[in-house]
Copies of this chain bind each other. A is one copy, B any other.
Amino acid sequence: MVGVSILAAAVLAQIPVTPDSADGSDGRIYLWVALGVGVLALVAALMLARSVIASDTGTPEMRAISDAIREGAEAFLRRQYKTIGAIALALAVVVFFGYKLSPRTEPFASKTVISFLVGAVCSGLAGFTGMYCSIRANIRTASAARTSLNKALQMALRGGAVTGLVVVALSLLGVGSLFLFFGGLEHPEAVPYQLVGFGFGASLVALFAQLGGGIYTKAADVGADLVGKVEAGIPEDDPRNPAVIADLVGDNVGDCAGRGADIFESTAAENVGAMILGAALFPVFGVKGILFPLIVLAINLIASIVGVFVVSTREDEDPMDALNKGFYVTSALALAGFAGAVYTMLNGPLVKPLWLLACGVVGLITSFLFVWITEYYTESRYRPVQSIATASLTGPATNIISGLAVGMETPAMPVVAISAALLLSYYFGVQGLAGVSGISDYAKGIYGTAIATMGMLSCAAYILAMDTFGPITDNAGGIIEMSNQPDAIRERTDKLDSAGNTTKALTKGYAVGSASLAAFLLFSAYLEEIKVIVTAKVAAAGGYMPVGWSFTNINLAQVPVFVGALLGATLTFLFSSLAIKAVGRTAQMVVQDVRNQFKENPGIMAGTSKPDYARCVNIVTGAALKEMVLPGALVVGLPVVVGLIFRHFSASYQANATVYAPGAILPVPAIGGVPVNLAGAEAVAGLLMVGTIAGVLLAMLMNNGGGAWDNAKKYIETGKYGGKKSEAHKAAVVGDTVGDPFKDTAGPSLHVLIKLLATITLVLAPLFV
């Protein structure tokens, strides 16, 4: 990509620049600072992990259960990474030879594949480390719960913090060291385009991790319930159920490893995207604009470490209050750091940094709004959950209807919040850079939305720590339950478990929010990438490149773009359908195996002999991994197919076949005298943008609808409408079961899908022109 970037720089060089920032030398220090903080955060995570692992592990009985969970989870991850590794290697070969095929992309083949593989390995490592720690923290949390609520809370949060810190630090170190390695300090404005493979690798692994883990966790859960509670009539988490360990394993592989990979690729993709936009503004901020996202990540790490350590609770306090205190401390520190970074890095004689800081504040406020809206829709003290509980009185049908109605209502408020955030941060961006000439208002505004996204992500590590807190406390509760500890201890873990359910729901809201706010950042990075490719192509063919030409027009009134949009939206529906069906099929395998075990060994139900937990774990593992391939392949394949087909569409499919060039109009397919057909690139952009819209809405429907069903059941269990065992409770259990694959398989996988679409189109952009 060196050729491309030199050309891009040549084009950009025609724009008047602010003199003090045009070379990279003055920004070198920021890269070293960011990398240094990244290394320190890893060290901090290691120390945290050691202190967690050094803690007491309770009774031998507890250890036996915990060991079974650990073995199952590690076995799943090993096999899952083998499958994902094979897929990633195959894709690496495809990308490599795809790039090699054309003389235009040939020089960038190795760098793209290297960053792809580094991204994939880092993503896998992030997921693995997170789970490694959480499957060890669960038993220590259970053991600490025997002493005090505060000790258990801190143990679980610190176990979660390992994941949060490792994920964000790996993202920072991965992007930062590739930037360094690819010569970022020499050609800072060119290197960001070479990092797109990193985001793609990260989101590819994340999609399969989230999807495979999501299928595993819900298939084990639903299967164990169907055959245990419904058929055999034994309670949840009963040790006689052969699927009970698979169920507890599921919490770890779905929530820990899956969500870790999800947030890893969020920070990775949005970082690379923001660096590309920073490169487009190189004349204004120099290398500092490119390194700004890395510094925000560094601030994020420091703020989150402090946040984790201020959390403590009293015995009679709601643990959620303590966790929120940590969140507010983290936010305040992050905001202060963010302000400092904006004033030192995004400054200049013609820049008004206050406006740019306002963009970041918009992002931070948006993350708060998303958290509050998610709370409103999923907590039992508000109308939505209560309406589902009331509807349960008239049976499962009305429970389901009412839950779906709540689910379909949920996107409205967040969409208004996101719309306001986009419009405001765009406006603030334009205002902040109003004095800078030679850059279009559009580029300024889009950079504003990128800063807002950075602002929203500036607490990511703490949020992730809170999220991983969920499965740790859930497992701790299960261990306490299965090892028959006294009630007082169980009360403590129940309190923590309930807080964990809330944090899990909030994190999903946060993940969707960041995905939708980041949408523009990622679209724009794709448009920038296409622009650089076209510039290179025209120059290579000896054509003249119109000054100021940009690729910023995705015309939905063109049939190929509309068809791409239609296919993108449909993709999200079909993907959800496949994911949900995969859960159903895998759950059937669990049911079958448990039935077989009961038949082969009657001693299990009698309590005289132990069931074969490992066999059940094995079966779910194999089935979940097989089932994740088809939906995953669909997401990877569709944009490629659309791009490759539509690139052959004639110009007569283009409504307004013109490009911007002051003083001259040039009908596509001739830019600067060179034939360039953008139909493929535009159709893919339509797919990406409308796929994102549909994906965000469906994800909110599923996450919040599922959460509301879950909590409506729990609300009834507190004694409302007849409490447990009432008809209303039975109806609410149906809703909860329907919500499971919604909120833990399809919904979270859709976040990743959105970003995978963005990164795959970034990497394969050269093939679409």
Cβ A523 vs Cβ B412 within 8 A? no
Cβ B230 vs Cβ A581 within 8 A? no
Interface residues as binary, A651-691 with B (CB distance below 8 Å gives 1, 0 otherwise):
11111101011111100000000000000000001100110
On chain B, the residues within 8 Å of A222 by CB distance are: 397
Stretch from A260-268, A457-465, A557-565 at the B interface: A557-565
Chain A interface secondary structure, helix, strand, loop or mixed? helix
B419, B520, B580: the one contacting A401 at CB < 8 Å is B580
Given contacts A567-B415, A690-B565, contact A405 B738 (CB under 8 A): no
Nearest to A560 among chain B residues (CB) is B423
Given contacts A395-B230, A397-B737, contact A567 B697 (CB under 8 A): no
Cβ B656 vs Cβ A553 within 8 A? yes
CA distance A395 to B552 in the complex (A): 52
Interface residues as binary, A323-355 with B (CB distance below 8 Å gives 1, 0 otherwise):
000000000000000000000000000000000
Shortest beta-carbon distance from A370 to chain B in Å: 15
A288-319 contacts to B (CB < 8 Å): none
Given contacts A412-B573, A734-B400, contact A553 B563 (CB under 8 A): no
Indicate the size class of the contact surface on chain A: 35 or more
CA distance A359 to B458 in the complex (A): 54
Shortest beta-carbon distance from A700 to chain B in Å: 9
B404, B441, B652: the one contacting A580 at CB < 8 Å is B404
On chain B, the residues within 8 Å of A685 by CB distance are: 556-557
- Any chain B CB within 8 A of the CB of A741? yes
On chain B, the residues within 8 Å of A226 by CB distance are: 394-395, 398
CA distance A659 to B2 in the complex (A): 34
Cβ B401 vs Cβ A741 within 8 A? yes
Shortest beta-carbon distance from A314 to chain B in Å: 40
On chain B, the residues within 8 Å of A654 by CB distance are: 442
Cβ A396 vs Cβ B394 within 8 A? no
B398, B409, B445, B574: the one contacting A577 at CB < 8 Å is B409
- Any chain B CB within 8 A of the CB of A426? yes
CA distance A166 to B580 in the complex (A): 45
- Any chain B CB within 8 A of the CB of A576? yes
Interface residues as binary, A492-527 with B (CB distance below 8 Å gives 1, 0 otherwise):
000000000000000000000000000010011001
> In the complex, given contacts A556-B685, A565-B689, what are 10 additional A-B residue pairs having Cβ atoms less than 8 angstroms apart?
A230-B395, A408-B574, A408-B580, A409-B578, A411-B574, A422-B562, A422-B563, A442-B655, A444-B652, A524-B557
Interface residues of A, Cβ cutoff 8 Å to B: 222, 226, 230, 391, 394-398, 400-402, 404-409, 411-412, 415, 418-419, 422-423, 426-427, 430, 441-442, 444-445, 449, 520, 523-524, 527, 550, 552-563, 565-567, 569-570, 573-574, 576-578, 580-581, 583-584, 591, 651-656, 658, 660-665, 685-686, 689-690, 693-694, 697, 701, 733-734, 737-738, 741
